[in-house]
Amino acid sequence: MRRGSTAEPEMVIRIKRAYEPAAAADGIRVLIDRLWPRGVKKVDAKLTNWMKDIAPSPKLRVWFGHKPERFKEFAGRYKKELTGNPRVAELRSLARGRTVTLVYAARDSEVNHAVVLQSVLRRRRSSSRSAARD
């Protein structure tokens, strides 16, 4: 279906709470929190990798406090933190032609750093300048 040799392999990037059971469809499971999810056994998490350093800085995480009214500002600040983070390129590379599931512990499935990171990873590299806006 792809035309030409310049087409990039499809990237499937999902997000999932650490408290949901792992599934074969998750593909490569990467924990993206700085702290281990409370009450989750490492054997049950079935993680491929734990990328603590792609999570928001402790200062940003504490400021955000998962308050929905701060999410837009949080997203902008977190995108700035991700600029130049080598883990972003590493995750994109992992996802080339495969499924990667970003695993996180936050309660809110729509207001969390995994949503922001997923959007950054899905964006083409050429538009990375727009990540610094806002």
Write out pLDDT tens, residues 67-115.
999 999 999 999 999 998 999 999 999 999 999 999 999 999 999 999 9
Predicted TM-score (pTM) of the model is 0.85
Structural domains in the chain (count): 1
In a domain, 104, yes or no: yes
In a domain, 51, yes or no: yes
Query: pLDDT value at position 8?
Result: 63
Separation between Cα atoms, residue 75 and residue 72, nearest integer Å: 5
Would you say residue 1 has pLDDT above 60? no
Q: Which domain range does residue 113 map to?
A: 12-132
The angle at the Cα of 83, spanning 77 to 86, to the nearest 5 degrees, equals 130
In a domain, 56, yes or no: yes
In a domain, 3, yes or no: no
Higher pLDDT pick, 75 / 1: 75
In a domain, 4, yes or no: no
Separation between Cα atoms, residue 74 and residue 3, nearest integer Å: 39
